Amino acid sequence: MNPAIQGLLTIAIGVGGCLSYFYFSNQILDKVVFPARGPNAGKNINRANLVRPWLFLLPALLALGLYLAYPVVETIRLSLTERETLSDGTTVYNFVGFANYAQMSADPKFWEALVNNMFWLIIVPAMSTAFGLLAAQLTDRIRWGNIAKSLIFMPMAISFVGAAVIWKLVYDARPPGTEQIGVLNAVYVWFTGNDPQQWLTTPFWNSFLLMIVLIWIQTGFAMVILSAALRGIPEETIEAAIVDGANPFQIFFKIKMPQIAGTIVVVWTTITLVVLKVFDIVFAMTNGQWGTQVLANYMFNQLFVARDWGVGSASAMVIMLLVTPILYWNVRNARKEMR
Amino acid sequence: MDNIAGTKSSLTWAVHISVAALVALWLFPTVGLFVSSFRTADQIATSGWWKALFPTEQSLTLRTADPDTQTLVDGVYVIEGNLFTGEDLSEDIDMSAWGTSSRDVGAYVPGDTAELRDGERITVQANGEYRLESPVEMEGSRGQRIFVTAELPPDFTLENYQQVLFSGNATDSMAKAFFNTLTVTIPATIIPIVVAAFAAYALAWMDFAGRALLIAIIVGLLVVPLQLALIPLLKLHLGIGIGKGYLGTWLAHTGFGLPLAIYLLRNYMVGLPRDIIENARVDGATEFQIFTKIILPLSFPALASFAIFQFLWTWNDLLVAKVFLIDATGQTTVMTNQIVELLGTRGGNWEILATAAFVSIAVPLLVFFAMQKYLVRGLLAGSVK
């Protein structure tokens, strides 16, 4: 069957199925199970209202449970097992304790990925937030600020893979003596007169060149959120500071910054989450070679190149572990808000 | 804020310049790719794209007419003509130098006469006109090679798009990948919205035990890394016979998109006026009617926000497609994967790469600029709270 027709059919079945599930389950509940008539009418309405939320929630809970909650548990289990294919073709999972974790920590590539991820975790959120704050503060004061904002925000819509191609062209290197078509080398050769560099294959700094790609994408996000926060600051506080003779820098750092600190934390943690999962950029630009490995790409390699599900799961658990503090913090805030 | 006394500083021009610089810096890489997608392979390889916007000095390799066009004039064999005609070049080109050997392409200035072998002499004018003379009959099947250095106006081509979209060439073609991406994206955007909308309504407006706990769990699931789900779900899909394919991909995208969808929609629905819903309840509307007739239409902005997020995310996704969709036959490849493969096989062919990448980012960019309002609103609802 043509996939496009299959797709349309799936939309029809998916959407139609969902709607008719919701409609008929409600009908059955009201008309058959707990009908609102007869001697128990009042009681039945109450009972139906006890059940109804779960009818509304059921499909979502099933999907969440199967696609997010179950994998967490299953990954923990798989990270403690070794997959083995028996002679009769069946696959068994033998419990091996922490052997996968031990194997992983003996792998220098894993440590390289972990160290690189730490650099990513510090630099990308910091730079994106800083540039975002700068852009938000500057664009709020000029008439064409909205156009500027939407242009800085635009990379948000570009895929990581598309961004990888865009920046590979920027970092491109041609042999010495020929004209450089990558902007970075063109500028470098112009200013220093040195030979052009193969930027992406030069260890240590090449990781930073990959980070620039993500900073370029995430700055727009930071700018949009922070700009809304800046506009939400009560004018009186700023007016009071001006009356007291504060200069623009004092106003920004002493009056505005403390008032948007909460938003900065939210932006920072959101970008941190993106960083922890960054895969496409590294995969498309260097595939983790030349010292640029990161955890998500390391995990993908374990899964599809080495085909080692045990170590793959163990590295996924490391990512989960790094996310956990943010998870805890988010849940706590959400609960506080609801009270 | 400009009208507050004291903030109207003389630094306004500095702000304008800084913003302009920032915008230029942010746009520059994308514009580079865009411009490159309209240039030929030769142009990309010989000059930076930023030079494509201005006339540039280029070296061209041209030929005189074939020896069979020679005529005998006063005992001398002569070939006359214009180098630029027949090469699709305009005759207004003003050449600055020319040569007859690849080792010295700028040996002569226009108007000079060069001596070739066998007593042949050639004179080339700035406008491309030449006169080749020889005392003996010229032989060979092709004309004399002439290297010309000239200032050429910007020149763009649509050939790359032709090649990438319509050629049907298996490695370069994005047409199939484009439709595959579309096939993944649309159901993966619509289905989670329907499922999430009902759940969000229950979480926002129905009272039941465990509601707060459920919301907390959803906030927690919001940050669970996708990476964790890959192996268990692949195992599950292979185990229950879905295997790799569209169905599994749609389900996976639905599952991964749900926490954000429920969270965004619930936050929005909670803010709807209580009176409307309670009046409807008093008037005897069922919960299902309240949901479809009142809540859904009122929640349109939030639904649109999430739809854009999910669309951009599924369109731009590589990981989920690689794990759950693309099998060994490669029939179901999506655009992001196609581009990564091009990076491997066609790493130096920037004209193909740039065009393929631009085809894949064009749709999200259109959606972005058309629906930016909803995207921003969704971001604010999702993070500031």
d(CA B266, CA A339): 16
Chain A residues lying within 8 Å of B43, measured CB to CB: none
Q: Which of A24-28, A38-42, A181-185, B269-273 has the lowest mean pLDDT?
A: A38-42
According to DSSP, residue B115 is labeled E
SS3 B262: helix
This prediction's pTM:
0.81
The shortest CB-CB distance from A63 to any of B180, B258, B364 is to B258
Of all residues in chain B, the percent with pLDDT exceeding 70 is: 92
Phi–psi pair at A281, nearest 5 degrees = -65, -50
Which residue in B has a C-alpha nearest to residue A51's C-alpha?
A: B208
Phi–psi pair at B129, nearest 5 degrees = -70, 140
Name the residue with higher pLDDT: A87 or B305: B305
∠ Cα B137 B141 B143 (to 5°): 80
B285 by Cβ neighbours in 10 Å (0-12 / 13-18 / 19+) ranks as middle
Domain map of chain B by residue range?
56-152, 163-383
Which residue in B has a C-alpha nearest to residue A334's C-alpha?
A: B216
Q: What is the residue type of B309?
A: F
Across the interface, do B23 and A160 touch by the CB < 8 Å criterion?
no
Chain B residues lying within 8 Å of A36, measured CB to CB: none
The H or E element spanning position A5 is helix A3-28
Q: How many CA atoms lie within 13 A of B64 on its CB side?
A: 26
What is the pLDDT at residue B385?
Answer: 41
Structure tokens at B127: 């406008």
Tell me: pLDDT of B8 over 60.
no
CB pairs under 8 A between A and B: 346
Across the interface, do B211 and A166 touch by the CB < 8 Å criterion?
no
Class of domain A100-338: mainly alpha
B11-70: pLDDT as tens digits: 788 888 888 888 888 888 888 888 888 887 777 777 777 777 777 677 777 777 777 777
What is the pLDDT at residue A2?
Answer: 65
The shortest CB-CB distance from A303 to any of B221, B231, B317 is to B231
A32-49: pLDDT as tens digits: 777 766 777 777 777 777
What is the pLDDT at residue B2?
Answer: 47
Confidence of residue B280 (pLDDT cuts 50, 70, 90): confident
User: Which CATH architecture fits B163-383?
Assistant: Orthogonal Bundle (1.10)
Structure tokens at B284: 């005897």
State the distance between the two ends of chain A, measured CA to CA, in whole angstroms: 52
What is the pLDDT at residue B60?
Answer: 74
Domain map of chain A by residue range?
3-72, 100-338
SS3 B63: strand
d(CA B260, CA B92): 60
* Residues found in chain A: 339
Best probe of the A interface among B11, B19, B208, B349, by most A CBs < 10 A, is: B19
Confidence of residue B168 (pLDDT cuts 50, 70, 90): low
Name the residue with higher pLDDT: B173 or A158: A158
Q: Which of A322-326, B97-101, B267-271 has the lowest mean pLDDT?
A: B97-101
Across the interface, do B228 and A320 touch by the CB < 8 Å criterion?
yes
Contact B201, A52 (CB under 8 A): no
SS3 B134: strand
Across the interface, do A22 and B288 touch by the CB < 8 Å criterion?
yes
Tell me: pLDDT of A31 over 80.
no
What ipTM does this complex have?
A: 0.84
Q: Which of A46-50, A228-232, B349-353 has the lowest mean pLDDT?
A: A46-50
What is the pLDDT at residue A127?
Answer: 92
Q: Residues A251-259: contacts with CB within 8 Å, 24+ apart?
A: A251/B7, A252/A137, A256/A137, A256/A230, A259/A233
Tell me: pLDDT of B215 over 70.
yes
A175-216: pLDDT as tens digits: 777 777 788 888 888 888 777 778 778 777 888 888 899 999
According to DSSP, residue B149 is labeled E
Q: What is the residue type of B369?
A: F
∠ Cα A32 A35 A38 (to 5°): 130
d(CA B117, CA B314): 65
Tell me: pLDDT of B329 over 80.
no
Put simply, whether B21 touches A (Cβ < 8 Å) is no
Across the interface, do A10 and B247 touch by the CB < 8 Å criterion?
yes
Across the interface, do B228 and A162 touch by the CB < 8 Å criterion?
no
CA-wise closest residue to B172 among B42, B46, B322, B357: B357
